[in-house]
């Protein structure tokens, strides 16, 4: 039997002011190898990871009972500074966890805190950058990196301290498929090296086959589960939307950049169109212009060149960080605000129910888990039958239940005649929902063929991709 690197006995933890515990009766041993932590939003996955390195309860406060040992240390009493040498934690949002501005210094930050001698620091930075195959990024500014590169830099920053346990909280939720694969390959490599790697993740397709064990966290309860049980919840076959012949939106010879006409354009000569009742998925690596295209189509960003046409009626737009827009005291108030402001007919209750928020309607949105908050933002954004719906990475941080709500809501909208354009790295979502998939890259847009959505135009088509009629 493998050596246990962490052990929890009867742990029950409650955040300050929380009505119910976030972890209840936790009995768990963590051994070397890859441990996959799955479960719905708000179930306690992030709390479990924070318990490993002492942030719970030392940083967050609250009440805890039971006993724990992590690499021989008591995580409830050992200073987090000391625990950082044994357990490294990489957080979900790469943009809010950077201290310095460059790769090299960011990786060295933990070593400085651990008072590692300067000469050793340089060796360790070299070693960890090489180990993750990102040595070429050494002198780069973090803001110039893709999401996958940044996530690997954050992983390098904790690995530089040579921890025996590495925990990652939804490391691929914001990454394109290539970036996600690179991060997950690094996780698999660490597990092979004898470390305990604990990954909380919703995107299971790549990690599940490599996992040595799988933990299901729901309602604060942690229990082992099997890969087979999770495979049973595989996505359903795509169902086509109610596509009509009416052109709903169109852009011709579009040039646009993220900062408007002042900055270089990331889209050049793009011509696209979509019809009512159709779902168009935009894919492409980080920085390829997906958000720029959506914002231009929404009318939020003036194009540098070309024209944009939108349908009559309301355009709904969900930004990448939708939780940021929530500010009212309850989830219901957020939905009602949109209905009132847009003069739309519709029921707040129906929207709340559609996104599984009926039981959370009177909760303060900012106190919800990231997945629940995402659903609240979706309900607030999509309320009131918009004629054009623009979604920027709508499944970021979403669990399976929330994804199902999203898919159902989008289908309901398209059946009502809405045109939907969604930018996503989530290939499963694109396959499940999209009538057409447009790949962006090098400033151009190319329609791609997938198993579910054969291309209307040849895959090698030029920038112009405008369907004249539905399929």
Nearest distance, CB of residue 142 and other proteins, angstroms: 9
**HEC states along 249-274?**
EEEEEEEECCCHHHCCCCEEEEEEEE
CB-nearer residue toward other proteins: 216 or 378:
378
Q: Considering only residues 118-137, where is the footprint of other proteins by CB under 8 A?
A: 118-123, 125-126
CB-nearer residue toward other proteins: 59 or 67:
59
Stretch that binds other proteins, among 64-72, 199-207, 310-318, 444-452 (CB under 8 A): 310-318
Contact present, 34 and 197 (Cβ < 8 Å): yes
Contact present, 179 and 151 (Cβ < 8 Å): yes
By CB under 8 A, tell whether 354 contacts other proteins.
no
By CB under 8 A, tell whether 456 contacts other proteins.
no
Site map 249..288 versus other proteins, x via CB under 8 A: ----------------------------------------
Nearest distance, CB of residue 287 and other proteins, angstroms: 14
Q: Which of 143, 226, 307, 462 binds other proteins (CB under 8 A)?
A: 143
Q: Name, in order, each residue with C-beta under 8 angstroms of 266's C-beta and a sequence gap of 6 or more.
A: 256, 257, 258, 287, 288, 289, 292, 443
Q: Which of 110, 147, 371, 397 binds other proteins (CB under 8 A)?
A: 110
By CB under 8 A, tell whether 17 contacts other proteins.
no
Radius of gyration for the alpha carbons in the chain, expressed in angstroms and rounded: 23
Residue 103 DSSP SS3 = helix
Contact present, 38 and 400 (Cβ < 8 Å): no
By CB under 8 A, tell whether 338 contacts other proteins.
yes
197 closest CA partner among 209, 178, 211: 211
By CB under 8 A, tell whether 53 contacts other proteins.
yes
Nearest distance, CB of residue 377 and other proteins, angstroms: 8
Nearest distance, CB of residue 455 and other proteins, angstroms: 30
By CB under 8 A, tell whether 320 contacts other proteins.
yes
Residue 159 CA: distances (Å) to CA of 39, 125, 323? 26, 9, 30
Q: Name, in order, each residue with C-beta under 8 angstroms of 209's C-beta and a sequence gap of 6 or more.
A: 227
Contact present, 314 and 342 (Cβ < 8 Å): yes
By CB under 8 A, tell whether 139 contacts other proteins.
yes
Nearest distance, CB of residue 105 and other proteins, angstroms: 4
Q: Considering only residues 383-412, where is the footprint of other proteins by CB under 8 A?
A: none
Contact present, 187 and 197 (Cβ < 8 Å): yes
DSSP one-letter code for 203: -
How many residues bind other proteins (CB under 8 A)? The answer is: 71
Going along 147-284, which residue ranges are E strands?
165-169, 196-200, 213-218, 221-225, 247-256, 267-275, 279-283
CB-nearer residue toward other proteins: 55 or 455:
55
Q: Considering only residues 76-105, where is the footprint of other proteins by CB under 8 A?
A: 79-82, 84-85, 88-89, 91, 93, 95-102, 104-105
């Amino acid at each position: 039997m493998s050596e246990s690197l962490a052990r929890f006995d009867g742990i029950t933890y409650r955040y300050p002011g929380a009505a119910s515990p976030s972890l209840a009766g936790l009995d768990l041993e963590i051994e070397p190898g890859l441990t996959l932590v799955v479960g719905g939003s708000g179930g306690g996955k992030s709390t479990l990871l924070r318990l490993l390195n002492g942030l719970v309860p030392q940083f967050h406060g609250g009440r805890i009972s039971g006993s724990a040992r992590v690499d021989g240390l008591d995580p409830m009493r050992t200073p987090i500074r000391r625990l950082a040498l044994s357990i490294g934690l990489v957080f979900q949002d790469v943009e809010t966890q950077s201290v310095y501005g460059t790769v090299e210094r960011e990786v060295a930050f933990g070593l400085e805190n651990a008072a590692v001698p300067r000469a050793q620091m340089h060796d360790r930075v070299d070693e960890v950058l090489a180990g993750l195959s990102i040595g070429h990024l050494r002198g780069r500014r973090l803001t110039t990196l893709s999401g996958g590169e940044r996530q690997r830099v954050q992983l390098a920053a904790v690995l530089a301290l040579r921890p025996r346990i590495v925990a990652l909280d939804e490391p691929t939720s914001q990454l394109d498929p290539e970036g996600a694969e690179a991060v997950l390959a690094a996780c698999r490599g660490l597990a092979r090296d004898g470390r305990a790697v604990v990954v909380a993740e919703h995107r299971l397709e790549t990690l599940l086959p490599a996992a040595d064990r799988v933990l299901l966290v729901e309602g604060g309860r942690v229990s082992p589960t099997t890969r087979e049980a999770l495979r049973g919840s595989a996505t359903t076959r795509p169902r086509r939307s109610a596509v009509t012949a009416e052109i709903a939106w169109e852009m011709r010879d579009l040039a646009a950049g993220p900062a408007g006409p002042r900055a270089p354009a990331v889209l050049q000569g793009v011509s696209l169109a979509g019809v009512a009742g159709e779902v168009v998925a935009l894919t492409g690596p980080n920085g390829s212009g997906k958000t720029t295209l959506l914002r231009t189509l929404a009318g939020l960003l003036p194009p540098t060149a070309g024209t944009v046409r939108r349908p009559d009626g309301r355009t709904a737009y969900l930004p990448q960080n939708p939780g940021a827009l929530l500010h009212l005291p309850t989830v219901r108030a957020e939905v009602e605000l949109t209905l009132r402001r847009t003069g739309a007919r519709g029921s707040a209750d129906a929207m709340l129910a559609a996104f599984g928020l009926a039981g959370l309607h009177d909760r303060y949105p900012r106190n919800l888990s990231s997945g629940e908050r995402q659903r609240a933002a979706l309900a607030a954004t999509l309320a009131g039958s918009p004629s054009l719906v623009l979604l920027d990475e709508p499944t970021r941080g979403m669990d399976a239940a929330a994804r199902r709500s999203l898919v159902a809501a989008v289908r309901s909208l398209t059946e009502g005649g809405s045109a939907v354009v969604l930018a996503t790295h989530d290939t499963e979502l694109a396959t499940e929902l999209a009538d057409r998939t447009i790949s962006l890259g090098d400033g151009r847009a190319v329609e791609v063929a997938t198993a579910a959505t054969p291309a209307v135009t040849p895959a090698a088509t030029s920038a112009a991709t405008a369907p004249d009629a539905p399929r």
